[in-house]
Chains A and B, each alone.
Chain A
Amino acid sequence: MTTNDIPYISSLAMIDHLKGYLTTEEELAFMQLLFSSSASIKGANYGLRRKELEKLLGIKNDDNALQSFIDRVNGALNRYFKIIYDERRDRVVVMMRITAKNAKSTLSSEALAILLYMFYQQEVLGHEFTLVHQILVDFGHESLNANRRMKSNIDQLKKVGAVEDYEASSEEAYQLTTIGVHLFSESFLRRTVEFAQETKLNKEEVMKFFNRYNLHVEEDKE
């Protein structure tokens, strides 16, 4: 496989930048990561397992080395891609930034609202999971076919790997995956909260509200 197969990368001047940051193995590992994040056949299993990535990088159980790799790639490419490590599912995934215009065609607005709700519950309020029943009650159970509509929207979220079934609960429940946690861009969250508050807000405050503060500072540093 050559870089030509990934049109995005070859057109980015950033890739030259990246060379300076990464060793050859790391570059190859990153390419492998991009490729493996793609196969939609795998369902929600985007990306590589940590072990596989470590093998490509030639390290073993070295948190610092792994983190350094992730930080460097993210540092160089954070305008287009980010690598995230999903500890719970043991997967390293590449996520891609999408413009506001294209974002509309990815998920339905209802699915996004549900995801936002789970995001709020789990990231802001610190709940471990969100009950299906609760979503149904909160999101207008008065409409016709409410349950079916909600399920099909959640299915969309499952397909992109943003949420997964929460097994440990006796009731049907969902938990955000790392993909779900990182899906919303800062601008989107800021706009959303501004609409909710009906006032202009500082981006940092919004990030603080969603417990994304650390993330934000990190990106600023780069």
Chain B
Amino acid sequence: MAFKIDITTLRQIYEKLKECYEVISPVYDNGVIQYRENPSFDAIPFGKTQIEYAGTYFVSDTEKNYISYVRPSNTLKNFLRPPQEVLYKVYKKDEKIYFESTHVKRPMAFFDVRKCDLKALSILDDVFINKNNYPDDYYKALRENIFIVAVNCSEVSNVCFCSSMNVDFNNDYMADIVLTELKDGFLLEVKTEKGKRLLEGLVLQEAKEDDIKEKNQVLTQTYTKIKKSINKENLKEDLYKKIDHPYWENIGIRCFGCSSCTQVCPTCFCFDIVERNSLDGSYSERVRVYDSCFNPTFATVHKFNLRDKISFRYRHWLLHKMAYWQDQFGDVGCVGCGRCITWCPAKIDIEVETNNVRDIL
């Protein structure tokens, strides 16, 4: 099912979503385009564009079209595996201990999710549910109640390289409805029953064959605009072979080990579980927080950090994304969204570094 709609209808769809969900959509605030909870349709940064390079980010205006910006700086991970989540509340009463498990269920609608982030979501699903012998019930509780409005990109940024990282533009993944901006309006494709139900009551005009054609043109054009790429052929084997190469030291000198890259990455899943307790020892919360393989305590065994050099930590991170992940989950762990490139204060570029390592003989 596909329809051609205008911006007024898009606003109606947004309002309908707000009736049943907590809507999360990109917002321009403080110089950054970010996913935010409960914004208004008018807060969506239509007509804005991001200028992104390694270590560089700013937003400017453009006249081109409505959806001229690219993916936001934060990710779905921030909502489905929040930076802080209480797993248990633990009470001690009369020398006995009681646990209260605290699953949050909040129906969330993500308005405007790009293909890279949809692919990242399917990767997180594998990590936390599908390819895990102990499916994570906290992730699941949040994950099960979401609605996804996907958007096909018509613009790209300088740091995007999704097209070479198994992100399929012709796959709509788990989107409920998909939007593509056309010259005069939007193509609205309905992919699920949930999507169909949302649109009930709206007067919609069926899309014509030409509209579908135009959408496919948009996809192809966007695809060709992407300049960066990683050749995945034998990528794993090649990286494994070069695990000892002195080039990693060269990266280690430049990297600050700040963990910024892992925080913005949509697929980085590592966490710590910490205790937040009362002084008298009668109450404690088991809180799951983001952790990072760049943290010096991440791999300590008896006070020794097994990755005691930053070059070891960077290598671990890159190898996990590009190689280990393939062994663990059958796919690369990077979707080529480029966030880690933009937000690296040392201007380290994972696409450049991977290619550098690959080109070293």
B partners with A: no
